[in-house]
Amino acid sequence: MIKNKVIVIAGPTAVGKTALSIEIAKAYDGEIINGDSQQVYQDVHIGTAKATEEEQEAIKHHLIDIRALSETFSAHDFVRAANHAIADVLASGKLPIIVGGTGLYLQSLIEGYHLGGQGNHEEMRALRQKLDLLSDEDLFAQVSSHGIEIVQPNRRRAIRALELVTFGGDAENIVSDYEFMIIGLNMDRNGLYERINQRVDKMMAVGLLTEAKMLYDTLPDAQVARAIGYKEFFPYFSGQGTLEDAIELVKRNSRRYSKRQITWFKNRMAVDFLDVFASDFKAQASQKIERFLDDSN
């Protein structure tokens, strides 16, 4: 039933991705793969909004706490690590569920390439959209016209081959053989902003300031130290701002980041969002999953 299928739960910060992923994993015998750029780091749990210890004990999680604070992590690293994690989850007979809000990471994995700062992303996306409109016959005819031979040909491999012919070295071949289905989560902007503000307050209550001070004292230039939720406190620690201003800045930057996330998913990945506040929200999510996993479709 599962074969090479992967569920992706995407959406802005604080929308409820973790809670839904736990429910889906329990209902469909799945394991969760982190798709957030900051949760890969060890020793920072509050500001990165990781699943709780109880949640991680209930459902196995992958790609959490896999980097030291002093290390870096890129979209390139994520694609390789995520593909390995997906293979491990499928080998165990479980359903892989990727959960995160880092659009570049998810897009790089799903679309099967990583530009590494080179090439024209919009041109590549336009080509992919054009090829998607072709019939199987026309698509494979184009592949044949370039003298390309594909083992076990399918549309994904055919499109990937034509991208590589067109863009050459600008498109590194980290193509994924998995079939992805995205469940996008969103809600009314005012409701989302209120959730973000409340989450920052909860983070402060359980020790966010201590995490931020640890980074300030030990690794102020680390990649994770530049993340929203940490960097805003640095002026306070250096005596150049108030704690109240720092907290408000975390909330403001988080709200702005959520807007950028939604824009990325809508414009770059064409994600159709489910309204978390809808009365039948969970039923809609279940229907999408059932259709996706149904081999008869």
Instruction: Using the structure block, give the residue that is written with the tokens 């798709």.
Output: 35
Instruction: Provide the CA 183 distance to its chain's centre, in angstroms.
Output: 11
Cα(52)–Cα(232) distance, integer angstroms = 24
Please tell me whether 251 is known to bind a ligand: no
**Per-residue pLDDT, 145:** 83
HSE, side-chain direction, 13 A CA sphere, residue 133: 5
Please tell me whether 218 is known to bind a ligand: no
pLDDT tier at 170 (50, 70, 90 boundaries)?
A: very low
Please tell me whether 16 is known to bind a ligand: yes
Please tell me whether 49 is known to bind a ligand: no
Q: Which residues contact 36 (CB under 8 A, 6 or more apart)?
A: 48, 49, 99, 100, 101, 102, 105
Please tell me whether 48 is known to bind a ligand: no
Average the pLDDT over 208-224 and give the result: 97
Using CA atoms, how far residue 37 sits from 94, 105, 159, 277, in Å, is 24, 8, 28, 27
Tell me 1's DSSP state: -
For residues 69 and 223, is the Cβ–Cβ distance under 8 A? no
Please tell me whether 11 is known to bind a ligand: yes
Cα(261)–Cα(254) distance, integer angstroms = 10
Q: Which residues contact 279 (CB under 8 A, 6 or more apart)?
A: none
pLDDT tens, 57-112?
999 999 999 999 999 998 889 999 999 999 999 999 999 999 999 998 998 898 77
Cα(90)–Cα(95) distance, integer angstroms = 6
- Maximum mean pLDDT: which of 73-82, 114-123, 140-149, 288-297: 73-82
Residues for the chain: how many in total?
297
Residue 173 has pLDDT above 70, yes or no: no
What value does the mean pLDDT of the chain take?
89
Whole-prediction pTM value? 0.81
- Residue 62, classed as helix, strand or coil, is strand
Please tell me whether 112 is known to bind a ligand: no
Residue 297 has pLDDT above 60, yes or no: no
Please tell me whether 82 is known to bind a ligand: no
Using CA atoms, how far residue 287 sits from 21, 165, 200, 274, 280, in Å, is 15, 38, 33, 12, 11
Average the pLDDT over 164-180 and give the result: 64
| C-beta neighbour count of 11 within 10 angstroms | 27
- Residue 230, classed as helix, strand or coil, is coil
